Structure 1
Amino acid sequence: MRGKEQPTKKTTFLQGFEKATWNFFPTSHGKGAPDGIGGTVKRTADNLVLRGNDVTDGHTFFEKVSNSLKGVQLHYIVEEDMERYDTLLIDPLRPVPSTRQIHQVIAHENRIHYRQLSCFCSKMLDCQCFCPATFYFQGPDEQQSDTRRARKKRLLNMLWEEMENEMGGEMEEDVEMEDVMEELDEEPLKGPEGTVTVTTVSSLNNGDWLAVVYDDHWWLAKTIAVDTEHQDVKVEFLHPHGPTAKVEPKCGKKDVCFCPVQDIIVKLMGNASPVQSRTREIYSIAPDVMDFIEREHVRRLLLKA
């Protein structure tokens, strides 16, 4: 779901459905039944060419493959058909953020609800599990602002509970939620020596250490591959997620995932790089670096909400 038009086409003002949900199971939104049908169609065309048939254009492809495949129905679409639907799209069309991390889209007229984990506990799919966000494709700015602020409060409450559990008690009563949100909305603080802000993946190389956000937690990750076309990076996560004193690669199958550049908190170099133990592949981060990552993680998480 990388294209910004895809979430728009799922909203009901175009299709007419009362309620709809679309779920992406693999992290990178991998292949499914449509890809299998597409592979069958292409193999059929390859076999036709091997038998001496000439396939020189789309219409010839459509006719010859349709006659050879009885279980698959093909439709020939001309450019005029696509232009007619393009006129229905909102102009300018605002992209939904972090589409690679979205695993459930719930369609409504002119807006979608989306979240990183799918949930079906409610018949109308309007539950608040896993901190769903609302995105308006067109409408008053106040609605978008209120939605972002409501999500910020939900995330902050969740983080607040985690901090209370780690500290074994309640936080100070005189700390106001609004004051915390205003503080986190400020410009990012300068990090310790060796922490580098990443704005484009072109500055990254294989083997670079990163602190990244995934599933509302921050993780220490090692760069495996860089995708400059889509501005994301393939990383291996070390476990457990932060904040923690020591991390190590996942036992058995490696925990690998694509991470968009906007979810990279910071690049760790020099004195800020993780330190490996002498006997095992266990890494640790300096306390001041971990404290900076934790504060920047919370700030970015709420700003993105």
Structure 2
Amino acid sequence: MTTGRKQTVTLLKKKMQRRLLTDTRKNLHRKFLSEHIGQVSYTSFCRLRPFWVVTPSSSDRDTCLCNKHENLQFMANALQSQGLLSSRNIEEMSEATMCDPKAKVCAYGECSECLLTCHPMLTIPGEENIRFSQWMTEKITKDEKVSTITVKREITTTQHDLNTDFQERLLHFKRHVFNINWQFNAYRELRRSLKHNESLLHIDFSENYSCKYSQEIQSVHFGGSHQQASLHTGVLYTAGGQAPHTFCSISPSRRHDPVAIWAQLDPILKVVRERHPQVSILHFFSNGPATQYRQKGNFFYLSTDKYGFKEIRWNFFEASHGKGAPDGVGGVLKRSADRIVAHGGDIPDAQSLYDKLKSLDTSVELFFVPERDIESKTQIKAIVPISLTPGQMKYRDISCLCKREEGVLDCPCFNLQEVTLADVPVSSDESPASGKAPDNPRRPAMIEVKHIGEWCVVNYDNEAYPGFIMDAEGHSVKVKCTHRNGINKFHWPSPREDICWYYDWHILCLIPEPQALNKRSVQIEASAWKYVEEQLQK
């Protein structure tokens, strides 16, 4: 490469970096305006940048990003590079397809005016090939064990097919963005208006801390001798202008399921009862992983509370957007622990981590939860409820505080529904915390990314549509379906494939891969088909 070409390439790279930095600043400016009252120009926003906000270096990288945002942004970037889109701002594009971006009916696709609205393209997409990146889940087999991993792949498709997929994902993205903004606004409003008998707990699991020695021999450093400690962090907010109370429970157990959650919540809930006896209503805010907080076992423990609170409400931030103060608590403790190690201290296990941090002058209240305390909860045969209606709970799509000032917390807004968990068994081998679904052994409690590639049956308008799972995000599942052409006889539709997003509860069951009858048709295994027929006749 000649010197002139090298200089040109260098200038282009610098220009691209400046452009990306400008786009990042503009996105931050838009988010700032959406979360704060008043107007601040982009120029003033950059000029008033605090000194601790520094320009990222090449060693920095973003982690814990949102899968929906990233994959849709990759698509928008590819379409814009082909001259099909005038902008790469996916949130602005989603707002442009709605009558009212602040209305739930528009964001959830329940508005007849904007239900089928698509974002316009500058030109008609053609059949030219286009490449873009996507985060995908893949199943790998190692030592006869199948596991699921997430990888970033380059995909080649046509402009027409990419536009079709982009418009479909943009339809779901509207709901995603609406939930993000709504839940954070509800969180801020609740914190601002807490009453004397209310308390708010914002909790989250921090990434496990890898214990270490200040000096390690080679077999320790390169071997598997390092232990891990679970950190369950949180912030307690109460009324009356009191300062937030930060806390963290440390445990050698690596379990993050409902059993571990309530074992780690036990000490802080006792603190709330002792120090704030006037509190009778407890509000939880957390992120919503299906294996931790948003899980049947957690709801069971929640609905059979034994701590003496009159009412407990659990609010979930939108998936991949639950970062907040608890993450800061975990960061402070981990940096403090690393500082201890850097100055010659040893932290070989969870007990040492607790003892070392306890000796520091920190405002974070620490609790140690032995592994036996967590395991003992799995042996509980029954939980004695003190609520008036044990095993019953109400839920809605998004949080609502419209009648809270009147003392009403169960207003009928946003599709309020009631569910009874009284029939859920709580024996040690079939507890709701185990994640099993004894009432429906043919499908898990929730369809997740680990089920991608498996076959299922979709119940749509009381008709069976077998197909395989292509994607899963929250309560939505993407399935490529076959169509029926006889009794237990199905074929792939042609020329257009039947690929659609369904709600989780549309998945009737998981099935083995159907067997081929001929070149076009397949058949479901007999016992599975009998189960499907029985369910459809109910």
Q: What's the TM-score, normalizing by structure 2?
A: 0.26
> RCO (CA 8 Å, sep 6+): is it higher in 1 or 2?
1
Q: What's the TM-score, normalizing by structure 1?
A: 0.44
* Bigger radius of gyration: 2
